[in-house]
Structure formats: C-alpha cells, structure tokens
Copies of this chain bind each other. A is one copy, B any other.
C-alpha cells in the first residue's frame, strides 16, 4: 500500500507508480473489448468495467494502483443530461445547459440505484487485487463546462458567460454535491483513494478559478473519508489555488518542472509528471526522462510517480513495464 503511504507523506520502501488512463487504447486486450462494447456500456456493466480495470494490473507486475474504469460523464446522465459518444469525436451533450431553467431541471441522482454499476465494479475489483484501488470523478468546473458547451471548447465563452449569472453557483453547488456523493459512494464500495479531475481548469485565470471554482472543489475535497488526488492540466498558473481547494496529493501537469511545482506546493504530496510523449522514446531516453522527474522529486516524502497527463494510445506496452521497474529500482530506500 505504498501509494496510500505516499499520499499521506509517510515513509515508503520505494516510490509508487501508476499511470493516468492506464486501462486504455494502447492495450490490445482493451481494444479487443472495445470492438464489442461502446464506452458507456463498459462503464455501466460491472463485469466489463472490472475486467478493463484489471487489464493493466494483470499485464504489468509492480503497478502500485488500479483505477476504476469509468467516465466523468457517467455522473451527469442520472442528473438528466443526455450524453452521446460520437466515434472519433468524444462525448457530445444532447441537451446542453443554457441557463437557469436547465440548471434548475438538473436532479440529484439516485446514486445507489442509478450509479450502482460503478460501485459494483469497485467491489468486484477490490475482491481481486492487493494494490489500492482509486475511484475518480470530474471536478464541478470541468463537468459544468461539458454541460454548458456541449463538448470541448476552445474559449469556454458560454461557460464564462454563465459564470457571471446567478445560475452559476446553483449549477456548481448541484454538481459539487453530486460529485462529493459519488466519490463517497465509491469510497464506501472500496475505493482506497479518489482522484478529482479538473481537466479544463487551466482555461481560467487565477481570479476566475478563485471566485467561481475553488469553493465548489473545496466543498468536495474537504469532506472525503479517503486520501484525495487533485489534478488539473495546463495549471502552471493555478498550483497554489489547487492546493488551497484541497487534496492530499496535487497532480502536476507534465509541462511544469516538478521541482518548481513542488516548491510551490509545500505541505502536500505530489503526483507526476512525466511527459506522456516520453513513453514513445527508445528505452534509454525514456529512462533518462524518468530519472529527470525523480531527480526533481529528490526523494521528498510524498511522491507518487505518474505521467503529467493521460497515457497516449501509441504508447508501447514495454515502456509501461520499464518505467514501473525503473522507478521502483531507482527509489528503493
């Protein structure tokens, strides 16, 4: 359980390592399963979600955590949002939130019924593994942006317009309450820690984040019974505020030198932050890049090795094993 120890900044025998999106398209067994089942079906069928979650655990001895296979938008469907995964395009919201009326229409999920497959998948995985299992959810801002924009956006114009209206705090409160409950149910089902993904927060100024986002993420992170990992991409200008919002661990984007990030994040554990593209390098260069991250972490207590964003589909599987082994070997106390 070295990952949980690291999350609490306790002594570990060596640095724990896992990979964001470690169950995914770079694995042939995942691609095989995806031929037969769309993403949402996998998320909502416990035996499939558990199977995909376990794929990297079986394949890569030494991996220090499993993360439940799911999608951040699974949570908003029982709130009344219609989501479609368009092939090659990613998710599309069929009934975007345009204003107060749609915000007020969002309902509270009946978690134990409507999201039962997620918790059931967690229970199944827990019965099969000895490493910690991570749960996760999208953070309120990232979910709100999806709901308002209908999909990814270049400038988040609609979201930022809504941010200035009285509907925004209502939307964010509803989402924060739903995210918080969803994470607590995941913990109850057996998740040993949870990660909050605020993937799009980097598109806010520090002031926008502080005023319109931070209170809602804090509302979630304050109240969880397990260690929390708080991650955002493109967040070099937001690190202190992410820490202020909460998290036992702050996940650091690959673009930020880890030593500089950690100097700004004193007092918490840190996760990251190899460039996902480094995984495509020949072995020697890849391990040199890993060594660079480790040198910047400099054995500070509380380092969880990971990429600084999700693993890319072109990643060779031998890179994953090489990184796991190398991190463990190099950091053995």
A254 within 8 A of B: yes
A2 CB to closest chain B CB (Å) equals 27
Which residues on the B side are within 8 Å of A160 (C-beta)?
277, 280
Partner of A164, one of B164, B237, B285: B285
Q: Using CB atoms, name the residue of chain B closest to A281.
A: B164
A32 within 8 A of B: no
Q: Using CB atoms, name the residue of chain B closest to A159.
A: B277
A166 CB to closest chain B CB (Å) equals 15
Stretch in contact with the other chain, from A3-11, A70-78, A204-212: A204-212
A132 within 8 A of B: no
B204 near A280 with CB under 8 A, answer no
Cα of A277 to Cα of B255 in the assembled complex, Å: 25
A272 CB to closest chain B CB (Å) equals 12
A39 within 8 A of B: no
A292 within 8 A of B: yes
A155 near B277 with CB under 8 A, answer yes
A161 within 8 A of B: yes
A156-B277 contact given A234-B234, A236-B236, CB 8 Å threshold: yes
A314 within 8 A of B: yes
Which residues on the B side are within 8 Å of A205 (C-beta)?
254-255, 257, 275
Cα of A257 to Cα of B206 in the assembled complex, Å: 7
A106 within 8 A of B: no
Q: Using CB atoms, name the residue of chain B closest to A239.
A: B236
A163 CB to closest chain B CB (Å) equals 9
Cα of A257 to Cα of B161 in the assembled complex, Å: 21
Cα of A155 to Cα of B313 in the assembled complex, Å: 11
A298 within 8 A of B: no
Cα of A280 to Cα of B312 in the assembled complex, Å: 36
Q: Using CB atoms, name the residue of chain B closest to A312.
A: B155
A256-B237 contact given A164-B285, A285-B164, A292-B207, CB 8 Å threshold: yes
Which residues on the B side are within 8 Å of A277 (C-beta)?
155-157, 160
A327 CB to closest chain B CB (Å) equals 19
Cα of A275 to Cα of B207 in the assembled complex, Å: 11
Which residues on the B side are within 8 Å of A62 (C-beta)?
none
Q: Using CB atoms, name the residue of chain B closest to A257.
A: B206
Which residues on the B side are within 8 Å of A155 (C-beta)?
276-277, 312
A203 within 8 A of B: yes
Q: For the A-B complex with A155-B276, A234-B234, A237-B256 known, give 20 more contacts whose Cβ atoms are closer than 8 Å.
A: A155-B277, A156-B277, A157-B277, A157-B280, A157-B312, A160-B277, A164-B281, A202-B234, A202-B255, A205-B255, A205-B257, A205-B275, A206-B257, A207-B257, A207-B292, A234-B255, A236-B236, A236-B237, A237-B257, A237-B260
